[in-house]
Amino acid sequence: MSEAKGRNLLPEKIRVGVSACLLGNEVRFDGGHKRSRFITDELAEYFDFVSYCPEVAIGMGIPRQPIRLVGDPDSPQAVGVRDPELNVTGPLRDYGRDVAGKIADLRGFIFKKDSPSCGMERVKLYNDKGMAERVVAGLFAKELMAANPLLPVEEEGRLNDADLRDNFVTRVYVYARWKELQDGQPDKAALIRFHSRHKYLVLAHSTVMYQRLGQMLSDLNQQPFEEICTTYISGLMQALSRPATRKRHTNVLQHLLGYLKDNLDSAHRTDLAETIDAYRRGEYPLVVPLRLLQHHFSIHPHPYIDEQVYLNPHPQALRLRNTL
Ligand code: SF4
């Protein structure tokens, strides 16, 4: 992957895993699918999807008896809904472990919600009285997430929420940039530059992590470099997994305004400050103050701000910040 020129700091098409039924593949127990238009019509422009249907992969066939999870929440069993003697727990786990070890090229994964195989969380677990609680992950998803804790994951149902959608796509792009950096065998200067570009993005998610990551990189001689990289990316992905808030976005926008204060006349400064304040009050979506800032930075470029991922975390055509 290479970076486009200028302000566009985004990698090219990114490989992301997905539950096959979400692409419109007719692999469900009843021969149907659960196509997600957002995935197939919008994200597919930017993500190169790699599909998995664990139930078909373990030979259950199409159509097939539906399964559900029963028993101990720490070790749920996947059994047939009509025939509880059908138990596919072992094959689903084994397939999950097998796939989990082969997805180093993926930069994210979108799971089908509620599935006893693919659900990321809050999948129904039935007790022996037939009562269900939403407490566990699907067996396939659980193995993938356990073996790949840094991999950005999300469910298609949660992608209907504007904050979670923006958050997931942002994390996929950050993770893709990180892997690209790692592939180039970075030195200390490259790590510092990577962090520097992501500073305002992190600040929009967590002030504590913004400070902690900065401290972590303030002395790169304390630990072996590889250990620092491992701790750093773990902290960064943890920080980003917490959705950014309107309050924190406002804080970042005001920081960015500070870089323009010597270049703008008082009328433009006031206009920008009022636009940021209107965003804070919920009168404008995030895209409005951002576009205004970008407009001013295009006239008064600043090398540090020009590199900030915050201004351009994912393709603008996805319009993810139009509803934030
Ligand atoms: S939820 Fe998972 S197991 Fe079920 S049909 Fe979709 S891809 Fe297959």
Residue-by-residue DSSP string for 28-81: STTS-----HIIIIIGGGTEEEEEE-HHHHTT--SS---EEEES-TTS-EEEES
- Residue 7, pLDDT score: 44
- Residue 10, pLDDT score: 58
Choose the residue to mutate in 93, 115, 153 for probing ligand 1, maximizing ligand atoms within 8 Å of C-beta: 115
Q: What CA dihedral angle connects 13, 19, 23 and 27, to 10 degrees?
A: 150
- Residue 222, pLDDT score: 86
Instruction: Give the position, in ligand 1's atom list, of the atom nearest the Cα of 34.
Output: 6
DSSP-assigned letter for residue 87: B
pTM above 0.85, yes or no: yes
Look up residue 236 and give its amino acid.
Answer: L
The 3 state secondary structure assigned to 99-113 is HHCCCCCCCCEEECC
Choose the residue to mutate in 89, 99, 118 for probing ligand 1, maximizing ligand atoms within 8 Å of C-beta: 118
pLDDT tens string 101-133: 999 999 999 999 999 999 999 999 999 888 999
What's the 111 CA to ligand 1 centre distance in angstroms?
A: 9
Is the Cβ–Cβ distance between 291 and 267 less than 8 Å? Answer: no
For the chain, residues with pLDDT lower than 70 are 1-11
Choose the residue to mutate in 18, 19, 113 for probing ligand 1, maximizing ligand atoms within 8 Å of C-beta: 19
What's the 93 CA to ligand 1 centre distance in angstroms?
A: 14
For 2, 68, 159, 296, 308, the CA distances from 276, given in Å and listed in that order, are: 33, 49, 26, 14, 18
Q: What are phi and psi of 166, to 5 degrees?
A: -60, -40
What's the 118 CA to ligand 1 centre distance in angstroms?
A: 6
Instruction: Give the position, in ligand 1's atom list, of the atom nearest the Cα of 55.
Output: 3
Q: What CA dihedral angle connects 242, 246, 251 and 256, to 10 degrees?
A: 100
CA triple 47-52-57, angle to 5 deg: 165
- Residue 125, pLDDT score: 97
Rg (CA), the chain: 22
- Residue 265, pLDDT score: 96
Q: Which H or E element spans position 154?
A: strand 153-155
Q: Taking CB atoms and a 6 Å cutoff, what residues make up the pocket around ligand 1?
A: 19-21, 27-28, 53-55, 112, 115, 117-118
What's the 36 CA to ligand 1 centre distance in angstroms?
A: 13
What's the 12 CA to ligand 1 centre distance in angstroms?
A: 28
What's the 281 CA to ligand 1 centre distance in angstroms?
A: 42
Closest CA to 94 of 146, 143, 145, 138: 143
What's the 3 CA to ligand 1 centre distance in angstroms?
A: 34
